[in-house]
Amino acid sequence: MAYGSILNFITFDDPMANPFYPFGGAYNLPFDISYKLWDIIGGIIAWIINLIFPDNGVSQWLISAEVSNAFALIIFMLIIFIVVFVCTLLSLWMERKVLGRLMDRRGTMIGLKGFLQCIADGLKTFMKENTIPKKVDKMTYMWTLSLVIGTSVLIACMVPLSPRWFVVDYGTGLLIIMALFALAPFFILVSGWAQNNKYSLIGGMRAAELMISYEVPILIMIATTCLLAGSFNIGAIVDAQFSSTWFFIPQIIGFITFVFCATAEAERVPFDIAEAEAELVEGWQTEYAGMKWGLIMLAEYFRGYVSCAMIVIMYLGGWLIPFASAEVNGLVPEIVFLLKAWFVFFVMIILRGALARVRTDQIVNIGWKVFMPLSVVNLAIVLVLKIGGIY
Amino acid sequence: MTGEKQNLSIDNGTMDTDKMWVIMGPQHPFSHGLWTLKAQIDGEIVTDAEPIVGYLHRGWEKECENRAYPKIIPMADRLCYAASMTYTHLYCLTVEKALGIEAPEKAKYIRMIGDEICRVQSHLMWLAAVGTDLGNLTVFLWAMREREYFMDLNVRLCGARMTTNFTRIGGVRNDTTDLFDRDVLRCIDRFEKAVWDIIALIDDSSIFVSRMRGTGYLTREQCANLGITGPAMRGTGVDFDVRRDDPYSNYDKVEFEVPVLKDGDSYSRYLVRIEELFQSCKIIKQCVQKVNALGKSAPYRLKVPSKVPAGRAFARIEDPRGESMMYLVADGTDRPYRLKVRSPIFTNVSASKPLVQGSRIADVPVIMAMIDMCLGETDR
Amino acid sequence: MAETLQNPSVQQIAEYLWHRFEDKAVVTKTEERRVYAKVQKGDIFDVCRFIHDTLTFEHATSVLGNDMVDHLEVVYHLTNYYTGVMIELTVDLPTDDLHIASVSSIWDGANWHERETYELFGIVFDNHPKLERLLTPDTYEFYPFRKSYKLRGQP
């Protein structure tokens, strides 16, 4: 082949026909997109190399099945992250605008109705001096920070947006998300110790206190939902809601309780006691400056997004449109999912605008004396429904 | 729970707990100004506390000994920026007393209008601070928005928003105008409706109420003995208001009520301040009517000599934050020999140890917010 | 005359003070809701105790110092919460003996006023729980509000 047409290199193969396709039998839209993107990029490179050095091995290597798959996976990761990142920035922007309107002001005003303020803030924090206090335990200080941010980004990326938009199709999806979600308070606790600052220490302790009182009801409610759906798999949970009703109808108690618990899990007002700025300056974040603080803020919004996504998956029918057939549901399930998640986030913003921060003893009180019994009642109701054969 | 301190003590038994001193301030979100609260905490519970002030001490009283009497008026403005007219009023009252004169009727009413506008402003700023101390920014911005309207009233009255330099020895700088009369009524009518938004946001929310109820509890005797004055005192059951019980200017000629609650916790102090907002509006309305009844030609300022005869005089008034007093020793020259300011916050903050002891560290901002810190007048 | 008076009038206060202390606490002037009295240095604690316990003056509005060059003064302003009556007590202190009994065991609110007077005038309040500098730094070795301490430009 002295001269090959470009169409010999860009073939738009079906990624699922690739023997190294990583998702088994399930179709994956972002992988499809990234596979085809690599097809274009790699194909053009291979074609150009082939023009200069006809019949070389590199061109063939670039468009081989293994290499296509590997590069497609890299692009796939980027796509997944960028989509989640933009969604998070959008929720940040929404918080600023909605909170602004609640408070009788305009919110951010820079570019694209204020959206570019996020970018300005990001640039600002990244260009700040990276100060590290002298007396901190440096290794722990940096590692815990990385782990808090890392786990938050990881779970945010792991949330599937639709049956065709996922990273890994877990059999135990909800449980793994929950496990990673609950890891962050440990790191916050350790980070509070490492910073050698009394405010951080109290903040870290409070994070642990918060986790102890909210993990248990949350896990009970997750178990209840899984019991109702008969599976831990996120896709299966949503499918169960398609075949019956959305789960907030049978477990309305659980839904309301879970909204509050998820708010606490994301450490947002009224449950942001770990960083109560009135008495603890910034709580466990006190000694983090510049870029580190910016990343922590971003991680918090990632966690807020995950909380909302969990509520949507467990109670609001995931990517389903109400009263729509399977065909209609299959059109743009990702957009439907994100709209629902943003709606839940909107409710959280309203809560933030209207409520004050609760005290630590009140949080433990509510957690153990109100939410814990309510989640058990919710479990009992679901058990009755399940035994009665209604679901 | 009302009227009784929550039992927050921990039975440590044989457990050995370490206590820790947390230095809150001078750069701390809860200290609205430059002061420090050293709090000793056992876990989350405050076991000991010590307030530290003096970061803003600028020798105000000593400075005054070096200035002619009228030149002290702008300085008195700066004692507390949230209630500047109150302090100029107090200063002028003291000097007038030493001179043995009284301001004209009209000036008295205009001064009262200024005082009450400042009281509303100051209370709204306090309300904003309570919002942030409880972790809610909405209250902060709504209260600041309402305060802005009263700032505009200040502009209509004297041309300045904050440091007004309006009261003069022997009267006030200028008369009220028709525009002011129109705006003051509009503003108050609007305010009396709009403030219910904020009140509803706080009072109807059990989180807000539970954060305030039962915290910072004091008995009436403790409160009187500690020298706490102002709304914090009236929320603790002491039925005393200088405006009513020791009237100055023309406060004996207007009708108003003094809200007193006996619960003695932060929530009752909050309720007292909210009620005072409405009472202040009532006083402003009456004063505007009385000023108009006196007519345009009534005098509002007396000519006064520049030298004050030797002697002593003191006056006290009800500041938005408590009872403030000035004590003047004159020696016959045009400068005061000694001028002492009794600031309400100075005494109130000295009581912070009994106020915060035994409460949780999360409640410290709320309890101290009910004192309504203002460091300009505390450190002088 | 031992019973407690909750709402003493100005005349009653003058009478009571005269009966109890005679020339140790001389009422110099009375006005509407105001009583001015001059107290001997050694008797201030007893007078204050009597005013607090018997005449129900629950509130110490202020305690202030005053430098009259040839002597110093301490002035107490005390308030009755039921009537709004105020008593002003003036105590002269000779410059060579600036000691006076502290009243902060009677009124806790007088605590900081006495500390302030101590640091600004150097008047020592005996039996004060914590007589330290409050507004000025601990390192100051002078008393800034005395007339001997001149500001710039002050004659």
Going by DSSP bridges, is the β-strand pair B20-24/B36-42 parallel, antiparallel, or unpaired? Answer: antiparallel
Name the DSSP class of B134.
T
Determine the pLDDT at residue A345: 92
The rounded mean pLDDT for chain B is 86
B148 falls within a domain? yes
A333 and A257, same domain (yes or no): yes
A105 falls within a domain? no
HSE, CB side, 13 Å, CA atoms: give it for residue B78. Answer: 14
The mean pLDDT value for B364-375 works out to 86
The answer, yes or no, to whether residue A277 has pLDDT greater than 80, is no
SS3 B316: strand
C112 and chain B in contact, CB less than 8 A:
yes
B2 falls within a domain? no
Q: What are phi and psi of C31, to 5 degrees?
A: -130, -175
Name the residue of chain B whose CA is nearest to A270's CA.
Answer: B135
B12 falls within a domain? no
Measure the CA–CA gap between A292 and B282, rounded to whole angstroms. 52
A284 and A365, same domain (yes or no): yes
Determine the pLDDT at residue B11: 58
A319 falls within a domain? yes
B240 and chain C in contact, CB less than 8 A:
yes
**Cα–Cα nearest to B277, from B348, B345, B204, B188:** B188
The tens digit of pLDDT for each residue in B316-358 reads 898 888 889 999 998 888 888 888 898 888 888 888 888 888 8
Q: Which chain B residues have a beta carbon less than 8 Å from that of A270?
A: 135, 207
Check A104 against B141: CB less than 8 A apart: yes
Q: Which of A82, A117, A142 is the last residue of a domain?
A: A82
Smallest Cβ–Cβ distance between C153 and the set B66, B229, B323 belongs to B66
Q: Which of A50, A82, A114 is the last residue of a domain?
A: A82
Smallest Cβ–Cβ distance between A357 and the set B30, B135, B201 belongs to B135
Q: How far is A190 from chain B (nearest CA, A)?
A: 17
B132 and chain A in contact, CB less than 8 A:
yes
Residue B350: which CATH number? Answer: 1.10.645.10
The answer, yes or no, to whether residue B289 has pLDDT greater than 80, is yes
Q: What is the CA radius of gyration of chain B?
A: 21
Determine the pLDDT at residue C154: 65
C75 and chain B in contact, CB less than 8 A:
yes
Measure the CA–CA gap between B112 and B300, rounded to whole angstroms. 13
Tally of domains within chain B: 1
A349 falls within a domain? yes
A37 and A155, same domain (yes or no): no
A212 and A342, same domain (yes or no): yes
Q: Which chain B residues have a beta carbon less than 8 Å from that of C86?
A: 246, 316
CB atoms under 10 Å from CB of B250, counted, come to: 18
B13 falls within a domain? no
Determine the pLDDT at residue A359: 84
A95 falls within a domain? no
The model's confidence at residue C2, banded by pLDDT at 50, 70 and 90, is low
A161 and A71, same domain (yes or no): no
Q: How far is B63 from chain C (nearest CA, A)?
A: 8
Residue type for position A324 = A
Q: Which residues pair with B49 in a beta bridge?
A: B39
Q: Which chain C residues have a beta carbon less than 8 Å from that of B325?
A: 61-62, 77
The tens digit of pLDDT for each residue in A17-71 reads 777 787 877 888 888 888 888 888 888 888 888 888 877 788 888 878 788 888 8
CA distances from B108 to A297, B112, B262, B311 (A): 54, 6, 33, 24
A58 and A153, same domain (yes or no): no
B316 and chain C in contact, CB less than 8 A:
yes
Give the residue numbers spanning the domain of B90: 20-379
A235 falls within a domain? yes
Q: Which chain C residues have a beta carbon less than 8 Å from that of B66?
A: 151, 153-154
A369 and A265, same domain (yes or no): yes
The answer, yes or no, to whether residue B188 has pLDDT greater than 60, is yes
The tens digit of pLDDT for each residue in A216-253 reads 888 899 888 888 888 888 888 888 888 888 888 888 89
With b for 16 or more beta-carbon neighbours within 10 A and e for fewer, the A28-59 pattern comes to bbbbbebbbbbbeebbeebbebbeeeeeeeeb
B134 and chain A in contact, CB less than 8 A:
yes
Give the residue numbers spanning the domain of A17: 9-82
A172 and A267, same domain (yes or no): yes
B223 falls within a domain? yes
Which carries the bigger pLDDT value, residue C22 or residue B147? B147
Tally of domains within chain A: 2
The tens digit of pLDDT for each residue in A168-188 reads 877 777 888 888 888 888 888
Q: Which chain A residues have a beta carbon less than 8 Å from that of B132?
A: 278
Name the residue of chain A whose CA is nearest to B210's CA.
Answer: A358
A329 falls within a domain? yes
B101 and chain A in contact, CB less than 8 A:
no
Q: Which chain C residues have a beta carbon less than 8 Å from that of B224?
A: 58-59, 81
The rounded mean pLDDT for chain A is 85
B40 falls within a domain? yes
The model's confidence at residue A343, banded by pLDDT at 50, 70 and 90, is very high
Q: How far is B148 from chain A (nearest CA, A)?
A: 13
User: Which domains, ranges and CATH numbers included, belong to chain C?
Assistant: 10-101 (3.30.460.80)
Cβ partners under 8 Å of residue B375, min gap 6? B33, B34, B35, B53, B55, B56, B345
HSE, CB side, 13 Å, CA atoms: give it for residue B365. Answer: 31
B267 falls within a domain? yes
Identity of the highest mean pLDDT range in A375-379, B9-13, C65-69: A375-379
Determine the pLDDT at residue B1: 40
The answer, yes or no, to whether residue B367 has pLDDT greater than 80, is yes
How large a percentage of chain A has pLDDT more than 70?
A: 99
Determine the pLDDT at residue B295: 83
In chain A, count H helices and then E strands. Answer: 16, 0
Cβ partners under 8 Å of residue A360, min gap 6? A206, A209, A273, B44, B360, B362
The model's confidence at residue B2, banded by pLDDT at 50, 70 and 90, is very low
A218 and A338, same domain (yes or no): yes
The answer, yes or no, to whether residue B3 has pLDDT greater than 60, is no
The mean pLDDT value for B142-169 works out to 88
A199 and A326, same domain (yes or no): yes
pTM, rounded to two decimals = 0.87
A194 and A287, same domain (yes or no): yes
